[in-house]
């Protein structure tokens, strides 16, 4: 297995995704991991703020690919599996569960989030930024539903951010190689084995409507299959899914 891409570590950045995106738009191709002890303007999905407290991990991978954007988006599931591997390495087997589309849960509470961004390059290829934030030492306050941190479930101290990034980057490279060589089916199968609440009722809050039904699993492209009360199956490609949370 090839070693993961190099890591560049900083004390402060506005956003690791923002830094990686600026480099991509300037023509840099990577691959490189960018991490910072502190983010002054961290971002999550759909423009939400993402807090990076002291001792937590904020890292973004800048890379370039030849695959179409829709296929490249599957790397969010690769990142989710890597985050679950990190949780298991720190907390034990089965500690990390995955909630569609890309949240890591520990004991039912969010412990990590993922943001994938992409854009076209002048050479026709696609740049990708895979951002991962992990609550290692402390969970942000005021989140609904409540978040958690690895430290809350460990008898010893959680790993330092750079130590955690080494584990995460190695796991990401293993799953990325599987995705590149074997296709998305194996990624989807591994994700499903760690999925949170498949087969349970949930509410999918979409940009223009809210749907309720039973989460049945992933479609071939990573969309969530939601069995509605009328019996039809809706494909959820973007939005937030809630299983009994506020």
Burial classification of residue 14, based on how many CB atoms lie within 10 Å of its CB (0-12 exposed, 13-18 middle, 19 or more buried): middle
Average pLDDT over residues 26-49: 80
Task: Check whether 50 has a pLDDT greater than 60.
Answer: no
In a domain, 85, yes or no: yes
**Does the bond joining 163 to the residue before it have cis omega, within 30 degrees of 0?**
no
Least confident of 54-58, 73-77, 237-241: 237-241
- Residue from 40, 76, 27, 39 nearest 184 by CA: 76
Average pLDDT over residues 144-166: 93
In a domain, 230, yes or no: yes
Pairing of strands 96-99, 32-39: unpaired
In whole angstroms, give the CA distance from residue 162 to residue 57: 8
pLDDT tens digits for range 212-223: 999 999 999 999
Average pLDDT over residues 53-71: 94
Q: Quote the mean pLDDT of the chain.
A: 91
pLDDT over 90 percentage in the chain: 80
Average pLDDT over residues 97-111: 93
Task: Check whether 45 has a pLDDT greater than 70.
Answer: no
Assess contact for 196 and 185: CB atoms under 8 A. no
In whole angstroms, give the CA distance from residue 91 to residue 85: 10
SS3 breakdown of the chain: % helix, strand, coil, rounded to 5? 30, 35, 40
Strands across the sheet with 96-99, in order?
7-13, 32-39, 57-65, 126-134, 109-120, 103-106, 96-99
Regarding whether 131 and 54 lie in a shared domain, the answer is: yes
pLDDT tens digits for range 105-131: 999 999 999 999 999 999 999 999 999
Q: Please tell me which residue, 140 or 121, carries the higher pLDDT value.
A: 121
pLDDT of residue 1: 55
Regarding whether 141 and 222 lie in a shared domain, the answer is: no
- Residue from 208, 200, 209 nearest 243 by CA: 200
- Domain, as residue range, for 220: 201-242
Task: Residue 198: count other Cβ atoms within 10 Å of its Cβ.
Answer: 19
- Per-residue pLDDT band for 46 (boundaries 50, 70, 90) equals very low
In a domain, 96, yes or no: yes
In a domain, 1, yes or no: no
Average pLDDT over residues 218-242: 92
Which residue has 């959680």 as its token pair? 158
Regarding whether 102 and 182 lie in a shared domain, the answer is: yes
């Amino acid at each position: 297995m090839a070693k993961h891409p190099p890591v560049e570590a900083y004390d402060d950045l506005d956003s690791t995704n923002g830094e990686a995106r600026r480099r991509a738009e300037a023509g840099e191709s990577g691959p490189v991991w960018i991490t910072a002890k502190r983010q002054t303007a961290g971002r999550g999905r759909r423009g939400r703020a993402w807090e990076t407290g002291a001792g937590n991990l904020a890292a973004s991978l800048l890379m370039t690919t030849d695959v179409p954007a829709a296929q490249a988006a599957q790397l969010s599931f690769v990142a989710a599996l890597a985050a679950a591997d990190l949780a298991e390495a720190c907390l034990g087997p089965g500690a990390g569960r995955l909630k569609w589309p890309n949240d890591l849960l520990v004991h039912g509470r969010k412990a990590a989030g993922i943001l994938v961004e992409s854009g076209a390059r002048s050479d026709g290829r696609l740049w990708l930024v895979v951002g991962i934030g992990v609550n290692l030492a402390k969970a942000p306050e005021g989140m609904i539903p409540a978040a958690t941190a690895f430290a809350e479930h460990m008898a010893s101290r959680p790993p330092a951010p750079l130590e955690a990034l080494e584990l995460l980057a190695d796991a990401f490279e293993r799953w990325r190689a599987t995705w590149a060589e074997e296709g998305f089916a194996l990624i989807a199968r591994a994700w499903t084995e760690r999925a949170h609440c498949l087969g349970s009722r949930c509410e999918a809050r979409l940009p223009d409507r809210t749907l309720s039904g039973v989460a049945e699993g992933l479609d071939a492209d990573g969309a969530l299959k939601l069995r509605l009360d009328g019996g039809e199956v809706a494909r959820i490609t973007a939005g937030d899914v809630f299983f009994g949370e506020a």
